[in-house]
């Protein structure tokens, strides 16, 4: 009797005696699999499932049960799964299942457009995920690119890079990285261009004047900017888009010289420009201005150079929301239109009634804004200084 009691209370450490899959388990993408793990011991062990250095596909760190169901597996399901049997006696017993999911290549480009300059080296990068490992071939248009003094390709892990040395104008164009394996193929597309990068507006969205706004932006380019194209318009209420007066703003521009990281920010001095006024207030107005006049002929920078420009739009309405976009042109063409920048003019202050008003160029009466007058004086002085300096030089 006593021996039976002792045997019934005797504890045994856990021992896994059955695993549905051992070692490497290969599945195709979209498949479903049930993993099983059974163990003995006294007390009865608990089976805990987890994935090494990762959470389970469900997002949980671990689950308890004899089976683990994996449905519609993809590349994110791959990894080393482990089932551990634990009953509190000694250490848990553990088995491992290495799940490999086979799938066609998935290609991402590090950048869809790569900006470069004449004589420099360009790097085009595709990130490729695939199982089995893919073969990656590069093309320019429809012509396959081999290894030459000008072209070289390499890969580290999932990162595949095409190097183009001593870039010439003939190298600009569309490139494709094609990845293929036994499961299929995929492509990534990259444009190599000498145009400027997209312009970025760099100022507060709230203006300091009731009827003007100073727009400032920067654009990075490997060659001089030769022309700018600015688009802007007010933002009328959605239910009141029509029957608005003709919008005829007055535009002035002055360049802002800056120094960034020890590199000169090239600039010119220019006042004025051509404007195409819109016929309805909700339409875009367009301003076309030449780039800095200090540039002549074909010029390339040894590295990406950031150029800052500033435009003052006058004749705006107080406390009104506007939106604007800008493009820059260099020797290789127009860059992509910038993202829309939203800005707002300051509300009109309550001031005493004045006997005489001042007419603007477009016949719209307005009071002189002290801040604006001070800004104009500084602008005129700066223009004279630049003019005198140019004559002296």
Q: What pLDDT score was predicted for residue 301?
A: 66
Is 302 among the domain residues?
A: yes
**% of the chain at pLDDT higher than 90:** 61
- Residue 8's pLDDT band (cuts 50, 70, 90): low
- Angle at the Cα of 338 (from 336 to 340), degrees rounded to 5? 145
Q: Are residues 132 and 147 in the same domain?
A: yes
Pairing of strands 305-314, 212-221: antiparallel
**Mean pLDDT across the stretch 110-139?**
96
Beta carbons within 8 Å of 118's beta carbon, 6+ residues apart = 167, 168, 169, 194, 222, 223, 300
Nearest-angstrom CA–CA distance, 119 and 266: 21
Is 357 among the domain residues?
A: no
- Is a pLDDT exceeding 90 seen at residue 264? no
Domain end position, chosen among 70, 103, 136: 103
**% of the chain at pLDDT higher than 70:** 72
Q: Are residues 242 and 300 in the same domain?
A: yes
Q: What pLDDT score was predicted for residue 277?
A: 41
Is cis: bond before 43, omega within 30 of 0? yes
- Is a pLDDT exceeding 60 seen at residue 253? no
Q: Are residues 275 and 220 in the same domain?
A: yes
Q: What pLDDT score was predicted for residue 254?
A: 45
Q: Are residues 252 and 141 in the same domain?
A: no
Place of tokens 């504890």: 11
Domain end position, chosen among 81, 103, 125: 103
Beta carbons within 8 Å of 185's beta carbon, 6+ residues apart = 104, 105, 178, 179
Q: What pLDDT score was predicted for residue 164?
A: 97
**Mean pLDDT across the stretch 121-135?**
97
Radius of gyration of the chain (CA): 34
- Is a pLDDT exceeding 90 seen at residue 282? no
DSSP letters, 103-124, are EEEEEEES-SEEE--TTS-EEE
Q: How many domains does the chain have?
A: 3
Q: Are residues 33 and 175 in the same domain?
A: no
Q: What is the mean pLDDT of the chain?
A: 79
Q: Are residues 387 and 254 in the same domain?
A: yes
Nearest-angstrom CA–CA distance, 47 and 85: 5
Print the domain residue range for 42. Answer: 13-103
- Is a pLDDT exceeding 90 seen at residue 390? no
**Mean pLDDT across the stretch 20-26?**
91
Is 361 among the domain residues?
A: no
Q: What pLDDT score was predicted for residue 238?
A: 59
161 or 386, which is more confident?
Answer: 161
Q: Residue 92 gets which letter from DSSP?
A: P
Q: What pLDDT score was predicted for residue 120?
A: 93
Is 227 among the domain residues?
A: yes
Beta carbons within 8 Å of 250's beta carbon, 6+ residues apart = 313, 314, 315, 360, 361, 362
Q: Are residues 215 and 328 in the same domain?
A: yes
Q: What pLDDT score was predicted for residue 121?
A: 94
**Mean pLDDT across the stretch 308-335?**
92
Is 58 among the domain residues?
A: yes
Which tokens belong to 76? 């994110």
Q: Are residues 176 and 115 in the same domain?
A: yes
Nearest-angstrom CA–CA distance, 155 and 179: 12
- Is a pLDDT exceeding 80 seen at residue 246? no
Is 182 among the domain residues?
A: yes
Task: Mean pLDDT check: name the lowest of 47-51, 184-188, 263-267, 274-278.
Answer: 263-267
Encode pLDDT of 218-232 as tens digits: 999 998 899 999 999
Q: Are residues 185 and 255 in the same domain?
A: no
Which tokens belong to 95? 């088995």
Q: What pLDDT score was predicted for residue 357?
A: 38
Q: Are residues 98 and 32 in the same domain?
A: yes
- The number of helices, as runs of H, and strands, as runs of E, in the chain is 2, 30
Is 2 among the domain residues?
A: no
Q: What pLDDT score was predicted for residue 290?
A: 79
Q: What pLDDT score was predicted for residue 26?
A: 96
Q: Are residues 177 and 276 in the same domain?
A: no
Encode pLDDT of 30-86 as tens digits: 999 999 999 999 999 999 999 999 999 999 999 999 999 999 999 999 999 999 999
Nearest-angstrom CA–CA distance, 106 and 130: 6
For 43, counting Cβ atoms within 10 Å of its Cβ (0-12 exposed, 13-18 middle, 19+ buried), the class is exposed
248 or 179, which is more confident?
Answer: 179
End-to-end CA distance of the chain: 116
Q: Are residues 246 and 286 in the same domain?
A: yes
Query: Domain with 372 in it: what CATH number?
Result: 2.60.40.10
Domain end position, chosen among 136, 158, 193: 193
Encode pLDDT of 340-360 as tens digits: 999 999 998 655 444 443 333
Is 179 among the domain residues?
A: yes
């Amino acid at each position: 009797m006593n021996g039976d009691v002792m045997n019934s209370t005797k504890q045994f450490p856990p021992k896994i005696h059955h695993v549905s899959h051992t070692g490497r388990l290969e599945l195709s993408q979209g498949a479903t699999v049930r993993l099983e793990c059974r163990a003995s011991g006294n007390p009865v062990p608990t089976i805990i499932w987890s994935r090494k250095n990762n959470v389970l596909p469900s997002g949980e760190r671990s689950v308890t049960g004899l089976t683990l169901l994996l449905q519609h597996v993809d590349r994110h399901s791959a990894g080393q799964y482990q089932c551990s049997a634990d009953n509190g006696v000694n250490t848990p017993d553990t088995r491992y299942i290495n799940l490999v999911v086979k799938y066609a290549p998935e290609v991402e480009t590090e950048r869809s457009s790569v900006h470069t300059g004449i004589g420099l080296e360009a790097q085009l990068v595709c990130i490729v995920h695939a199982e089995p490992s893919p073969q990656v071939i590069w093309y320019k248009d429809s012509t396959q690119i081999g290894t030459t003094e000008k072209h070289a390709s390499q890969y580290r892990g999932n990162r595949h890079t095409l190097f183009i040395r001593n870039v010439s104008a003939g190298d600009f164009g569309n490139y494709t990285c094609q990845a293929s394996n036994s499961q299929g193929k995929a492509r990534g597309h990259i444009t190599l261009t000498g145009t400027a990068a997209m312009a970025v507006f760099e100022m507060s969205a709230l203006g300091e004047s009731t009827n003007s706004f100073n727009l400032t932006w920067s654009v990075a380019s490997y060659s001089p900017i030769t022309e700018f194209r600015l688009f802007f318009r007010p933002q009328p209420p959605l239910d009141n888009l029509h029957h608005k007066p003709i919008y005829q703003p007055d535009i002035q521009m002055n360049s802002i010289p800056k120094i960034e990281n020890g590199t000169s920010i090239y600039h010119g001095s220019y006042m004025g420009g051509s404007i195409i006024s819109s016929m309805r207030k909700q339409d875009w107005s367009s301003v076309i201005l030449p780039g800095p006049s200090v540039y002549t002929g074909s010029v390339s920078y040894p590295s990406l150079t950031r150029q800052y420009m500033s435009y003052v739009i006058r004749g705006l309405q107080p406390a009104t929301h506007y939106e604007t976009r800008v493009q820059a042109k260099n020797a290789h063409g127009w860059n992509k239109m910038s993202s829309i920048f939203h800005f707002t003019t300051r509300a009109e202050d309550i001031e005493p009634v004045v006997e005489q008003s001042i007419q603007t160029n477009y016949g719209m009466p307005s009071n002189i804004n002290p801040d604006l007058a001070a800004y104009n004086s500084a602008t005129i002085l700066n223009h004279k200084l630049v003019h005198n300096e140019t004559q002296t030089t």
